[in-house]
Amino acid sequence: MKFVSIIIGSKSDYEVMKECAETFKKFGVPYELIISSAHRSPERTKHYIKEAEEKGAQAFIAAAGMAAHLAGAVAAATTKPVIGVPMASGELRGEDALLSTVMMPAGMPVGTVAIGKAGAVNAAYMAIQILALSDDELRVKLQEDRVSKAKKVELDSKEIEVIL
C-alpha cells in the first residue's frame, strides 16, 4: 500500500502537525504518524524509515524544532522524497529550525516548507502532488481543490467588495 510517513520530533509538535494529517484525510491519502527524534532516538528513526519503505512509504515528512536535524537524518536514510517542516520553538521561534532544515548539503535534498501550521498543510499538499504524478484520481482531486479555493476567494470578495 502506498502511503506518506509523518515523523515528528516530539509530542509537542503534534498540535501543529495534525493539520498535515487532516489534509491527508481530506484527500483520502493513507499516512502513518510517529514520534521519533534524530537526537534522542536515532536508531528508532533509522529502523522506522527502513520499515516504512518496505511497507510502501512513498515520501517522508519530518517536523522538528530548534536544531531540527530530523529531516536531514531521514534524508540520509532514504532516497524517497523528504519534506521538512520547521517548528516554532525556542528563543528564535523557528528561524533556527528553518535554517537547519533548509541548509542541506548538495545531493541530500530536503524540500522545506514554512514554519508551523502553513508548513504542515503545505507539506501534505507537496506529498500529495508527488503521489499524483502516478495517480490520476488524486491529480483530479488536487485540480478540484484548486477550483474550490478560487471560488471561495470570489465568494469572500462578494461579501465585502466595493467596486466603483
Name the binding residues: 10, 13, 40
Per the CB < 8 A criterion, the answer to whether 75 and 110 are in contact is yes
* 57-65, strands of its sheet edge to edge: 31-35, 3-8, 57-65, 82-87, 111-112
Q: Exposed/middle/buried for 33, CB within 10 Å: 0-12, 13-18, 19+? A: middle
Residue 56 · residue 154 · CB < 8 Å: no
- Which residues define the annotated binding site for substrate? 10, 13, 40
Q: Cell digits for 54?
A: 518496505
Please report, as a single letter, which amino acid is at residue 28: G
CA-to-CA distance for 164 and 38, rounded, in angstroms? 57
Residues 106, 136: Cα–Cα separation, whole Å: 32
